[in-house]
Structure formats: C-alpha cells, structure tokens
C-alpha cells in the first residue's frame, strides 16, 4: 500500500504515531469497535492494507503480527445501548477515545480514518492531542490500516460468539449487517437485545418499502 502519511510523519520526527479506525458503524446489531495502533517504523509488517480489501484469513493472520510488532495497540467498544443513546457518530468517537486511553504509550500525533477529527485528551489529562482526519485513510496509512484489521478481527469474533447466545439470527455469517437473511430473521423472531433499536426502526422500514413488505 502507499504509506504516504505515515512515512512523511516519521520523517518529520514523529516516533509515536497512532492510527485509529472503527468497525461496525453500519450494522443493525452489535457494538461499534475502534482500535488504536502505534506502529514501530523499524519493524515491517508485510501485506497490511485496508481490512475490506483483505480476506478473512489474511486478516486473521495479520492481526497477531500487528499486535506483536507494534509499539502499542488497544481495542475498545461502544455498546448497543450507547449507540442508541448517543447516536452512532458519538458512540464511534467514544469507542475511539476508549481505545486511545488504553494505549500504554502517549501518541505524539493521531491519524483518524474518515472526515472528522474529534478532540482527544489522553486519559482526560493535558492539552488535546494533535492529529488529523484522513479520508479513506485505511488505504494510504499503514497505522490506520493496522487498526482497521485488528478491529475487524475482534468484532467478527465478538459477533460469532454472540451467535451462540442468540441463535437463529445468523450473526456468525453477516456479523449484524443488513443482509436480507438478517432482516428476514428479525421479522420472524423479532429483535434481540443486540439489535440497535433506532437502526432497526429506520432501516427495516425503508427496506420493507423497497421489498413491498408493507
């Protein structure tokens, strides 16, 4: 991948550069998960890329390598209840903040995947941390891509475990996203406690209109 952002910041003398990304912003069920990764520029991790471009097997192989070679990494969640209460954007920022606070190393600079760069205070102390938002950053920053990989692997495993507690919905397959099979099961079984109430109400109504379910 073209690692232009990280390389430039490392050349500028930034040693502890943190990449942050989230997984699970769009599903109908389950938490939103964020990861923060501070890579060691002296330890190359081959084949790191946007998690969406990798196969499940590739992500599972890369995740432990990233954790092993990084200066620091952390993963955090915002729950379904927090998503419903705060809205998905604020819940995503909350998960990012939690991941950042769990890092054992204070970042000198932060790259966040997306359009928005929220205010980050490391463990609510001191001045706001410096950084920037990078649109499609998981394709041009190894730090962000690494965060996307470990967050994706974590959330997929989380939803697979959830499928055992809430059988019938197929969480192990679609991981809570709005697949037609998933929506059909919601109509058949009703939503469970893992479903995001506002998402269900809005998206199910829209899809129902499209599929002539009403």
Q: What mean pLDDT is reported for the chain? A: 93
The CA angle 10-16-18, to the nearest 5 degrees, is 95
**Rounded-to-integer distance, Cα 81 and Cα 159, Å:** 16
First to last CA, the chain: 46
Which pLDDT score, from 0 to 100, does residue 4 have?
85
Which pLDDT score, from 0 to 100, does residue 110 have?
98
Confidence of residue 207 (pLDDT cuts 50, 70, 90): low
Q: In what order do the strands lie in the sheet with 72-78?
A: 72-78, 32-38, 17-23, 109-113, 131-134
Give per-residue pLDDT as tens, 56-110. 999 999 999 999 999 999 999 999 999 999 999 999 999 999 999 999 999 999 9
For range 201-205, the mean pLDDT:
71
Confidence of residue 202 (pLDDT cuts 50, 70, 90): confident
Confidence of residue 126 (pLDDT cuts 50, 70, 90): confident
Higher pLDDT, 200 or 74: 74
Confidence of residue 204 (pLDDT cuts 50, 70, 90): low
Which pLDDT score, from 0 to 100, does residue 211 have?
46
Which pLDDT score, from 0 to 100, does residue 162 have?
98
Q: Is 193 exposed, middle or buried (0-12, 13-18, 19+ CB in 10 A)?
A: exposed
Confidence of residue 201 (pLDDT cuts 50, 70, 90): confident
- The CATH topology of domain 4-163 is Nucleotidyltransferase; domain 5 (3.30.420)
Strands 109-113, 131-134: pairing kind: parallel
- Which SS3 state, helix, strand or coil, does residue 63 take? helix
Give per-residue pLDDT as tens, 37-54. 999 999 999 999 999 999
* One-character DSSP codes across 15-49: -SEEEEEEE-SS-SBS-EEEEEEE--TTS--TT--
Which pLDDT score, from 0 to 100, does residue 212 have?
45
Strand partners, 18: 38, 110
């Amino acid at each position: 991948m073209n690692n232009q952002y990280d390389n430039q910041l490392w050349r500028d003398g930034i040693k502890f550069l943190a990449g942050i990304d989230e997984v699970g912003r769009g599903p109908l069920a389950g938490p939103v998960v964020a990861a923060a990764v501070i890579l060691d520029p002296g330890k190359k991790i081959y084949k790191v890329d946007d998690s969406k471009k990798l196969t499940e097997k590739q992500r599972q192989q890369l995740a432990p390598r990233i954790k092993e070679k990084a200066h620091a990494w952390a993963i955090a969640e915002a729950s379904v209840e927090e998503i419903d209460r705060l809205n998905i954007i604020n819940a995503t920022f909350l998960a990012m903040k939690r991941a950042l606070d769990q890092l054992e190393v204070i970042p000198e600079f932060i790259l966040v995947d997306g359009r928005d760069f929220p205010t980050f205070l490391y463990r609510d102390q001191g001045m706001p941390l410096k950084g920037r938002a990078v649109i499609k950053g998981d394709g041009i920053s190894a730090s962000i891509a690494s965060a996307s990989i470990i967050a994706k692997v974590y959330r997929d495993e989380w939803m697979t475990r959830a499928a055992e507690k809430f059988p019938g919905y197929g969480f192990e397959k679609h991981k809570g996203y709005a697949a037609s099979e998933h929506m059909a099961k919601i109509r058949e079984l009703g939503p469970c406690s893992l479903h995001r109430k506002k998402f269900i109400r809005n998206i199910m109504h829209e899809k129902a209109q499209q599929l002539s379910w009403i």
